[in-house]
């Protein structure tokens, strides 16, 4: 079962805000799309949205979000005034659609944008922007699952630079269990809450990051 960070009632506002942030940053402030994606995924703002922080779900506008992302990374403020335009841009749809996928499957923005470039998403827009959003989510999830064939535990442990033996020693979870979780010979979703907590604490991630989706 996917554990989502916030209730669906906040989703439409979060989608609109992230859509507006992408549109404002890329089309109004002329920040190259892939550069803005890098800034966003590296920022604390993306993590706050993933974690369901109310200020970034319903309290801030897209302009605020884009400005916060750029200020955190560069120390400068975006001061370009938004321009009135009619209809939703491709970039708006990208932020809007990715926000839905992130919420529905509880993946990180970093993972999503590791698989999809701005160009990839722009191409998807032309065939999917009039379809139900679940169509985009299903196609995106198939590609992301194919990309991340390793378990979340192995991927996070490797990124952290920790061996299986080190993780076992520091977490108190047996080496055999860790090996079996990573090989999917044992279902990590059925591990005890205590074991998951210990592993997550060592790796600096959340319990949800370790669960198989």
For the chain, the three-class secondary structure string (H helix, E strand, C coil) is CCCCCCCHHHHHHHHHHHHHHHHHHHHHCCCCHHHHHHHHHHCHHHHHHHCCCHHHHHHCCHHHHHHHHHHHHHCCCCCCCCCCCCCCCHHHHHHHHHHHHHHHHCCCHHHHHHHCCHHHHHHHHHHHCCCCHHHHHHHHHHHHHHHCCCCHHHHHHHHHCCCHHHHHHHHCCCHHHHHHHHCCCCCHHHCCHHHHHHHHHHHCCCHHHHCCC
Domain boundary among 147, 165, 193: 147
153-172 pLDDT, tens digit per residue, is 998 998 888 999 999 999 99
The residue range of the domain holding 183 is: 152-210
Q: What is the mean pLDDT of the chain?
A: 91
Domain boundary among 95, 124, 147: 147
177-188 pLDDT, tens digit per residue, is 999 898 888 889
50 with 110, same domain? Answer: yes
Q: Is residue 170 part of a domain?
A: yes
Distance (Å, rounded) from C-alpha 202 to C-alpha 169? 10
109 with 29, same domain? Answer: yes
Q: Is residue 100 part of a domain?
A: yes
Q: Count of domains in the chain?
A: 2
pLDDT confidence bin for 84, thresholds 50/70/90? low
94 with 191, same domain? Answer: no
80 with 176, same domain? Answer: no
Q: Is residue 66 part of a domain?
A: yes
Q: Of the given ranges (31-35, 72-76, 96-100, 118-122), which has the lowest mean pLDDT? A: 72-76
118 with 37, same domain? Answer: yes
53 with 127, same domain? Answer: yes
The two tokens of residue 48 are 């706050």
Q: 96 pLDDT exceeds 90?
A: yes
Q: Is residue 122 part of a domain?
A: yes
136 with 158, same domain? Answer: no
Q: Is residue 21 part of a domain?
A: yes
36 with 102, same domain? Answer: yes
Alpha carbon 132 to chain centroid, angstroms = 20
Q: What integer pLDDT is reported at residue 175 of this predicted model?
A: 93
CATH number of the domain where residue 201 is located:
1.10.260.40
Q: What integer pLDDT is reported at residue 111 of this predicted model?
A: 87
Q: What integer pLDDT is reported at residue 78 of this predicted model?
A: 85
63 with 160, same domain? Answer: no
The two tokens of residue 166 are 């080190």
Q: Is residue 56 part of a domain?
A: yes
31 with 100, same domain? Answer: yes
pLDDT confidence bin for 103, thresholds 50/70/90? very high
Q: 75 pLDDT exceeds 80?
A: yes
Domain boundary among 147, 173, 188: 147
Give the residue among 198, 197, 174 at the shortest CA–CA distance from 186.
Answer: 174
Q: Of the given ranges (76-85, 104-113, 189-198), which has the lowest mean pLDDT? A: 76-85
17 with 79, same domain? Answer: yes
Q: 24 pLDDT exceeds 70?
A: yes
139 with 58, same domain? Answer: yes
């Amino acid at each position: 079962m996917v554990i989502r960070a916030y209730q669906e009632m906040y989703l439409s506002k979060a989608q609109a805000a992230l859509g507006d942030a992408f549109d404002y940053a890329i089309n109004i402030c002329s920040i190259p799309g892939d550069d803005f994606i890098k800034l966003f995924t590296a920022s604390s703002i993306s993590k706050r949205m993933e974690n369901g922080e109310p200020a970034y779900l319903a309290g801030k506008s897209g302009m605020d979000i884009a400005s916060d992302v750029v200020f955190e990374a560069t120390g400068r403020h975006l001061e370009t005034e938004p321009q009135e335009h009619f209809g939703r841009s491709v970039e708006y749809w990208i932020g809007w659609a990715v926000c839905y996928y992130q919420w529905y499957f509880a993946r990180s923005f970093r993972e999503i944008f590791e698989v999809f470039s701005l160009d990839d998403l722009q191409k998807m827009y032309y065939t999917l922007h009039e379809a139900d959003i679940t169509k985009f989510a299903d196609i995106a999830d198939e590609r992301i699952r194919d990309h991340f064939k390793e378990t979340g535990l192995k991927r996070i442990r490797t990124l952290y630079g920790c061996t299986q033996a080190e993780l076992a020693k520091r977490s108190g979870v047996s080496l055999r269990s860790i090996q079996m979780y990573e090989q999917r010979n044992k279902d990590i979703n059925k591990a005890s809450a205590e074991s998951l907590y210990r592993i997550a604490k060592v790796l600096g991630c959340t319990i949800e990051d370790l669960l198989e989706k």
